[in-house]
Structure 1
Amino acid sequence: MTIPAESTFEPANNDASLSDHNESYQALVWRRLRRSFTGMMGLILVTMLLVMAIFAGFFAPMEPNLSTESFMPPDALRILDKDGGLVTPRIYPLVETGEFDPVTFQPLTGPDFENPRRLVLFARGFEYRILGLVPSTIHLFGTSDGEPVHLLGTDKLGRDILSRAIYGARISLTIALTVVSIVTIVGTTIGMMSGYFLGSFDVWMQRFVELVLAFPQLPLYLALTSLIPVTAPTNVFLVFVIVVMSALGWAQMSREVRGKTLALSRIEYVKAAMAIGATDRRIIFQHILPNVMSHVIVAVTLAIPNVVLLESFLGFLGFAVKPPLISWGLMLQDTSNYSVIGSYPWILSPVAFVLITVFAFNALGDGLRDAIDPY
């Protein structure tokens, strides 16, 4: 009996299904994250913030501590000349027009079309070191003639706000990432051990966690940071702030991880590992930790903006970092006077960096939460 040609058996092409079936968990999370618009936007913004902080000298157009004229308004960036013609991007310094605002009686300013400065990419400026090693004078942008450029104006001491905000990202993000790293390691370890071993260890540990959570954190922050003498080195002050934030922040992470561990310890594969004689260390780090990490990763992305906000608030009150260090909170000290804000509103520019950072990490955390959740 012959088999007709049209009914010849051919192996089915299951490459797509096999690739989906063999897809790793990390690849599955990445594929889900790419489908999230807010998650990808947050990832892009977070990457840009980290790159800006690492290579702050390249992105900053001016030396952050260089003083010029105080409270200079932002330079006007335009691609049109005074006649409306299209030109290359140029900087027009703002000058007084001779008129006054009828409400505030402040002198009005306008672009000085008679003295434009051409904006160029990869301009030469002050010397800095890439990653603290390689000296360079190339910056992302600047003027062709090397004149100062103040896209966000200057502060009360005549320092460029944009450059200081870019350099301030280093301290603010360093504090946030360091504090969250310590909180995550300590909180996750204690939470898993407390939820797995239970017994008297869990009872005493949870009472200690409740004691830490019961402290009013803001007054305690102010009290502890005020213990450092004003003459202390800036590095000592920075380390002390990180230690205080970490010591008061790990308890909440520990409580959340303990709850996840209590649920995971009742799952069949954990009980099977106990039945065959697996060690506690293997069960905790091989079976429980990988399943807790999905919650920890999301908690980390949501905790970083909280630390950034806390550092900005403490810096505004003068309890975070001290000069010559630069942080967004320290820059916001100039906004403590309402009359100054009304006359020079551009000094609020660091708020935009804080808002972008908070939005970026929250959007990334929201996207990761949906991507990591297997259901």
Structure 2
Amino acid sequence: MSDRATTASDAVAGQWTLMWRRFRRHRLGMIGGVITVLIYLVALFVEFLAPYTPEDYSPSHTYAPPQAIHWFLRTDEGLTFRPHVIGTKSEIDYNSGRRTFVEDPEDIIPIGLFVRGAEYRLFGLIPADRHLFGPVNHGDRVYFAGADRLGRDVLSRTIYASRVSMTIGLIGVAISLVLGLLLGGLSGYLGGWIDVGIQRVIEFMQSLPSIPLWIGLAAAIPPTTSPIQTYFLITVILSVIGWTGLARVVRGRFLALKSEDFVKAARLDGCKTPRILIRHMAPSFLSHMIAVVTLAIPGMIVAETSLSFLGIGLRQPVVSWGVLLQEAQNLRSISAAPWLFTPGLAVVIAVLALNFFGDGLRDAADPHAK
């Protein structure tokens, strides 16, 4: 009885309702979607979530190791619930010349939620000094994911870097979507010499090796360019390279749709080409395009990370996952502070979540899926 009811409801349900029902049955897609939303929420509230600012440093804590959280503290009254970390003291190994850190049991640093810390402006507008978690006493230093060579908190910098690395994917894909829809739509709908010309341009761009092309275009950005301008130019570079695959997908869909009856009716009714493309044809495969765009975002994130890691993308003082990974480019840093790979772990989680999310949307958008 329930199967019949479901079938009956599916028969009268709209396209988006059917897509949502199919997506809910895709477990990995749902998990990826939840993680993706959480990551973008982190990128939105970085000032509140990060215990410290990305520029906050402590020269006496260079390459400080991660500190474990202890939930209970033994006192005269017994075992009490009191989240804390054990402080550290540094010692110099004169044989190797390295600073080592050992736990100091007498140094108990209480931690908590909604603690006071560095002042900031939420969304650039609202002044505040509350942070989601961190040391209860403002002057204490706690490193949940270790510190870098300048004594800066790796976790805080990774949280701040999510804003740049995740938004550059959104902006880059948005520009690629506009180019792909425009050129791919014109190519598939008009055909003829326009189709031939656009396809030859796409084939030429796809024949160019990606990494040398990235290096050449990114190296053309002057070193004196401001961080905001560099961010914008890197986004444009990634978009110029990434629109070709999307245009091919759009062209194929338009070739299949231009012979449909509703397109012929719109043409006979006197609708002009832009209106037919935007008002009639594009909405018919909008759900499919959402899935394609979602799968394209991870490529943008990886591309930005690769460029910045090689030193030809974003540069300091911009904080992105690729810029942070520059700290782990030599063997000495890797052996002394493996926690510098924390931004790399963030890249892996974000890319996997977006891929699972995109796979779920693609399957849900397939009208032939069960």
One fold, TM greater than 0.5? yes
CA change 1:249–1:115 in 2 (3 A) is same
| Structure 1 residue 214 corresponds to structure 2 residue 207 | yes
| Structure 1 residue 76 corresponds to structure 2 residue 61 | no
The secondary structure found in structure 1 opposite 2:222 is coil
> TM-score by structure 2 length?
0.89
1:111 deviates by: 4.1
- Structure whose alpha-carbon radius of gyration is higher: 1
Which one of the candidate residues 79, 86, 89 is aligned to 1:92? 86
Amino acid at match of 1:206: Q
Measure, in 2, the Cα distance between the counterparts of 1:70 and 1:116. Answer: 20
Indicate if the aligned counterparts of 1:81 and 1:113 stay in contact, CA closer than 8 A.
no
CA change 1:234–1:106 in 2 (3 A) is closer
Residue by residue, what CA displacement relative to the aligned partner does 1:214-257 show, whole Å, maximum 9, x if unpaired? Answer: 22221121112112222221122222111111111111111121
Measure, in 1, the Cα distance between the counterparts of 2:335 and 2:10. Answer: 59
Residue 259 (structure 1) aligns with = 252
Which one of the candidate residues 337, 362, 369 is aligned to 2:355? 362
The secondary structure found in structure 2 opposite 1:93 is strand
| Structure 1 residue 172 corresponds to structure 2 residue 162 | no
Query: Structure 1: where are the runs of 5+ without partners?
Result: 1-13
Measure, in 1, the Cα distance between the counterparts of 2:89 and 2:117. Answer: 24
Residue 238 (structure 1) aligns with = 231
Indicate if the aligned counterparts of 2:73 and 2:82 stay in contact, CA closer than 8 A.
no
Residue by residue, what CA displacement relative to the aligned partner does 1:67-94 show, whole Å, maximum 9, x if unpaired? Answer: 1121111112122447994633211234
Which one of the candidate residues 339, 344, 348 is aligned to 2:337? 344
The secondary structure found in structure 1 opposite 2:132 is strand
| Structure 1 residue 182 corresponds to structure 2 residue 175 | yes
Percent sequence identity over matched residues? Answer: 37
Which one of the candidate residues 15, 21, 35 is aligned to 1:25? 15
Indicate if the aligned counterparts of 1:90 and 1:119 stay in contact, CA closer than 8 A.
yes
Residue by residue, what CA displacement relative to the aligned partner does 1:266-302 show, whole Å, maximum 9, x if unpaired? Answer: 3343344445554433332233212332332111111
Measure, in 2, the Cα distance between the counterparts of 1:221 and 1:161. Answer: 28
1:15 deviates by: 9.2
Measure, in 2, the Cα distance between the counterparts of 1:227 and 1:272. Answer: 49
Equivalent residues, number: 359
| Structure 1 residue 270 corresponds to structure 2 residue 263 | yes
| Structure 1 residue 129 corresponds to structure 2 residue 121 | yes
Measure, in 2, the Cα distance between the counterparts of 1:114 and 1:178. Answer: 50
> TM-score by structure 1 length?
0.88
Measure, in 2, the Cα distance between the counterparts of 1:157 and 1:358. Answer: 29
CA RMSD, Structure 1 to Structure 2 (Å): 2.7
1:307 deviates by: 0.9
Query: Structure 2: where are the runs of 5+ without partners?
Result: none
Indicate if the aligned counterparts of 1:76 and 1:94 stay in contact, CA closer than 8 A.
no
The secondary structure found in structure 1 opposite 2:309 is helix
